[in-house]
């Protein structure tokens, strides 16, 4: 076994794509400005290594980026396509929902449809309303789409490799706010992480914090502060929203007796409601034994503004989690 290596989140993503492209010639990448070197770029060096038949800058036509991927997969490619910000999911939602999510189900998996749509959430980092949407609720609602939102370099790499090998569509949503901040030791040897398995990022017996993506880090920070006050939070990182690891959530809540769900997306119709309903379906008796009512912390039902310092305040902060959890004791 080779030694570990220390990588950023964006490097982990870049490695996953390149490793898979080496393994499988049918993989091709396209998206707006995937070749050049910008803050959003995850695909540096691919042109140099694989040539221009494997990576292409597209015209700014998000609908087309995804729509073409469906057809290219129908015709034998395994596209990895990018939308520069997850805020562009609405622009391509027909293609995502109907072409990728629904149509192949109808056709009985008579053909495979191996497409990865990679699109970073850019919420809470001062991008302004139009670019700051965390749109997971929109794709989670679609039949047939898997939805993956990693929080660490290790997870990002292992999950993305699994997504790329999946024979059916996956929406992979990293978080732009994590790209360069947190280096992590990851194995130099190949590894993959299965979808549908959540990860306990911190063990604790007093309360379960269910979250995903960047909010995992926020929750961990809050948990450290809570620990100083004698409250030990268990932080569950969902990693994939679809499939959802409801078993792990139920087991943890059974243990702690308290649950708070945290996400960056707008509250109304956000993913928290789905988690809650799944929990009740999974463990109907559990809810009566809880020591406190279930809470959610999310962006409010108010447009994120084009104002970095305000926008940041609208996303759950360490302080918000800390305070809300404390109030639950």
Partner 1 sequence: MIEQVPKDILQKMYRDMVTGRKLDEFFLKLAASGDSDKDVPHRGAGEEAVVVGICANLRKDDYIKVTTRTRHCLTAKGMSIKDVLATKSYRDQRGVGGHCNYYDHEYGIIPYSGTLGEDVMVATGAALAAKLRNTDRVAVAIYGDASGNRPSIHSSMVFASAWKLPIIFVIQNNQYGMGTSVRKSYAIEDLSDRAKGFGFPGKTVDGNDVLEVYEVSKAFIERAREGNGPALIAAETYRLYGHYEGEGQKYRPEGEAEEWSKKDPLPRYTKQLLDMNVLTKSDIEKLDHEIEAEIEESMNFARSLPKWKIEDYHKNCIAEL
- The site map against ligand TPP for 40-79 (x = CB under 6 A) is --------------------x-x-----------------
Of 203, 204, 201, nearest to 216 (Cα)?
Answer: 201
Distance separating alpha carbons of residues 89 and 94, to the nearest angstrom = 9
- The site map against a second copy for 187-226 (x = CB under 8 A) is ----------------------------------------
- Region 260-319 residues binding a second copy, contact defined as CB under 8 A: 265-266, 268-277, 280, 284-285, 287-288, 293-294, 296, 300-306
| Between 242 and 294, CB nearer to partner 1 | 242
DSSP of 215-250, one letter per residue? HHHHHHHHHHHHHHTT--EEEEE-SEEES--HHHHH
Task: Number of residues interacting with a second copy: please give it, by CB under 8 A.
Answer: 50
**Least distance from C-beta 66 to a second copy, angstroms?**
11
For residue 123, what is the DSSP state?
T
Q: Where are the beta strands (DSSP E) in the chain?
A: 4-7, 27-31, 55-57, 78-82, 116-118, 146-148, 170-172, 184-187, 199-202, 207-211, 233-237, 240-242, 259-266, 295-299
Distance separating alpha carbons of residues 196 and 67, to the nearest angstrom = 26
**209 phi and psi, to 5 degrees?**
-105, 115
- Region 234-253 residues binding a second copy, contact defined as CB under 8 A: 242
If binding is defined by CB under 6 A, does position 132 make contact with ligand TPP? no
- The site map against a second copy for 133-162 (x = CB under 8 A) is x---xx-xxxxx------------------
- Reading the block at residue 104, the tokens are 């192949």
Contacting positions for a second copy (CB under 8 A)? 90-91, 93-94, 96-98, 101-103, 105-106, 129-130, 133, 137-138, 140-144, 242, 265-266, 268-277, 280, 284-285, 287-288, 293-294, 296, 300-306
């Amino acid at each position: 076994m080779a030694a570990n290596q220390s990588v950023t989140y964006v490097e982990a993503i870049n490695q996953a794509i390149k490793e898979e492209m080496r393994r499988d010639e049918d993989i091709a990448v396209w998206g707006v400005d995937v070749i050049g070197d910008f803050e959003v770029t995850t695909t540096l060096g691919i042109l140099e290594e694989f040539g221009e038949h494997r990576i292409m800058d597209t015209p700014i036509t998000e609908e087309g980026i995804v729509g073409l991927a469906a057809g290219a997969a129908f015709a034998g490619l395994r596209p990895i396509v990018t939308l520069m910000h997850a805020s562009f999911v609405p622009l391509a939602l027909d293609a995502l929902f109907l072409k990728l999510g629904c149509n192949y189900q109808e056709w009985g998996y008579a053909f495979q449809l191996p497409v990865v749509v990679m699109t970073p959430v850019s919420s809470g980092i001062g991008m302004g309303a139009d670019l700051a949407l965390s749109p997971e609720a929109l794709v989670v609602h679609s039949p047939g789409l898997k939805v993956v939102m990693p929080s660490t370099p290790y997870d990002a790499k292992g999950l993305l490799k699994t997504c790329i090998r999946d024979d059916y569509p996956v929406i992979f949503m990293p978080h732009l706010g994590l790209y360069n901040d947190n280096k992590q030791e990851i194995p130099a040897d190949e590894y993959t992480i299965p979808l549908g398995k959540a990860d306990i990022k911190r063990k604790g017996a007093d309360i379960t914090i269910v979250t995903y993506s960047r909010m995992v880090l926020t929750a961990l920070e809050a948990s450290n502060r809570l620990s100083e006050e004698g409250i030990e939070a268990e932080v569950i990182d969902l990693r994939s929203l679809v499939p959802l690891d409801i078993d792990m959530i139920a087991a943890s809540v059974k243990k702690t007796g308290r649950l708070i769900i945290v996400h960056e997306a707008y509250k109304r119709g956000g993913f928290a409601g789905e988690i809650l309903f799944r929990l009740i379906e999974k463990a109907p008796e559990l809810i009566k034994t809880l020591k406190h009512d279930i809470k959610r912390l999310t962006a409010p039902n108010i447009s994120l503004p084009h104002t970095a310092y305000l926008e940041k305040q609208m996303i759950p902060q360490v302080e918000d989690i800390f305070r809300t959890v404390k109030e639950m004791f």
